[in-house]
Amino acid sequence: MDSPAGGALPGHQPGGRTGPEGPGGVAELPRRRPGLVRLSRDDQWKTFWFAGYGVWDHPNCLRCPHTATVLRAIPGLTTAFFSILGPGKRLPPHYGPYRGVLRHHLALMVPEPATASGIRVGGEVRHWEQGRSLLFDDTYEHEAWNEGDTDRVVGLISHDAPEPHRHVGRTSL
């Protein structure tokens, strides 16, 4: 489930900026969460979309040009957004809808201590580390939480899964 960030995001330099796109970071980004109400009914989980199944949010791409350039270079990208989990927020267990994609989480802002925020995928629990990635099949049940005092921000990227993965069941990985 762990993956070094540099291998999956060409041209991305983790840690070269403070939070998404530099000074001001996530606090200055408009927060949108289209269609995600079923996982969260409050404002403690927010998203900032770049792309969703072939449709690019051009105003958001203009606000974060470096991120948008990196994302456009990822082969097979299907979805990309910043996922912002506020302090004390827990997303309930859920499944992704389609096993043709893999989820990639790049940790951009992680509250201290590192164990304050985490994700469970199937029976495995992991904690984000600044500038590092987690890669997983979201058709396994998964949930995420932030018990820290600051926002947890990850770049959430979905991309096409390798061909053999598309034809196997949830328990094969």
pLDDT tens string 76-98: 999 999 999 999 999 999 988 77
Domain ranges, residue 128: 78-161
Number of domains in the chain: 1
Query: Considering the domain boundaries, does residue 143 fall inside one?
Result: yes
Query: Considering the domain boundaries, does residue 29 fall inside one?
Result: no
Query: Considering the domain boundaries, does residue 59 fall inside one?
Result: no
pTM of the full predicted structure?
A: 0.78
User: Per-residue pLDDT for 5 more than 60?
Assistant: no
Return the pLDDT at 88.
96
Which position has the higher pLDDT, 93 or 171? 93
Query: Considering the domain boundaries, does residue 25 fall inside one?
Result: no
Q: Which of 81, 99, 83 is nearest to 91 (CA)?
A: 83
**DSSP states of 19-42 as a string?**
STTSTTGGGGS--B-TT-TTT-SS
Single-letter code of the amino acid located at 82: F
Query: Considering the domain boundaries, does residue 93 fall inside one?
Result: yes
CB 82 within 8 A of CB 151: no
| Cis status, amide bond into 113, omega within 30 of 0 | yes
pLDDT tens string 30-42: 555 454 446 777 8
The CATH number for 82's domain is: 2.60.120.330
**In the structure, what pLDDT confidence band is assigned to residue 54 with cuts at 50, 70 and 90?**
confident
